[in-house]
């Protein structure tokens, strides 16, 4: 298994733990790392994923709900929603990761850890989000930053 796949799977497990505790915090992440991997440092990609999701949790959940027809995020299986959080973070905030890679990794992790329907469920939501990005209805983080940098500055009249 590749190091990024391992980091994604471990990140999903950490998010699952946080989700079950209703605490998406760095303190909970530290507790997870102390309990489940006390003797090994967590790879930077793992840290990047989990800390990014902690920082953008509400935004990511809103995007998932917006693109999941008739599903509230709290009603989704815990494994599925945390895999979706990982993939949506990658789609929106990791410009170096192609959308196809983020989606395929999420589907594979869903098949490994989720229910028999998880892969198709995850694929459907992520494909909708990818389409919104491709059509410009949803901006990747790098695109948002670039758009803000090139937007004309407002001038206060006075």
Q: Domains of the chain, with CATH numbers?
A: 3-150 (1.10.940.10)
> pTM (2 decimals)?
0.87
Cα–Cα distance, 35 to 37 (Å, whole number): 6
CA-nearest of 85, 71, 63 to 15 is: 85
| 3-state SS, residue 116 | coil
Cα–Cα distance, 57 to 108 (Å, whole number): 22
Give pLDDT, residue 62: 96
Tens of pLDDT, residues 15-51:
999 999 999 999 999 999 989 876 777 889 999 999 9
Half-sphere exposure for 13 (CA within 13 Å, toward CB): 16
């Amino acid at each position: 298994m590749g190091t990024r796949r391992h980091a994604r799977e471990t990140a999903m497990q950490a998010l699952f733990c946080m989700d079950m505790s209703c605490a998406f915090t760095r303190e909970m992440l530290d507790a997870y790392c102390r309990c489940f991997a006390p003797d090994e440092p967590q790879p930077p990609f793992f840290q990047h994923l989990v800390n990014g999701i902690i920082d953008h949790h509400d935004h990511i959940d809103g995007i998932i709900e917006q693109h999941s027809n008739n599903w509230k995020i709290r009603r989704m299986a815990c494994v599925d929603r945390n895999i979706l959080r990982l993939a949506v973070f990658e789609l929106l905030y990791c410009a170096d990761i192609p959308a196809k890679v983020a989606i395929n990794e999420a589907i594979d992790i869903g098949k490994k850890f989720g229910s028999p329907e998880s892969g198709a469920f995850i694929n459907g939501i992520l494909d909708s989000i990818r389409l919104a990005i491709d059509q410009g209805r949803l901006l990747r983080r790098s695109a948002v930053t670039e758009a803000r940098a090139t937007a004309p500055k407002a001038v206060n009249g006075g």
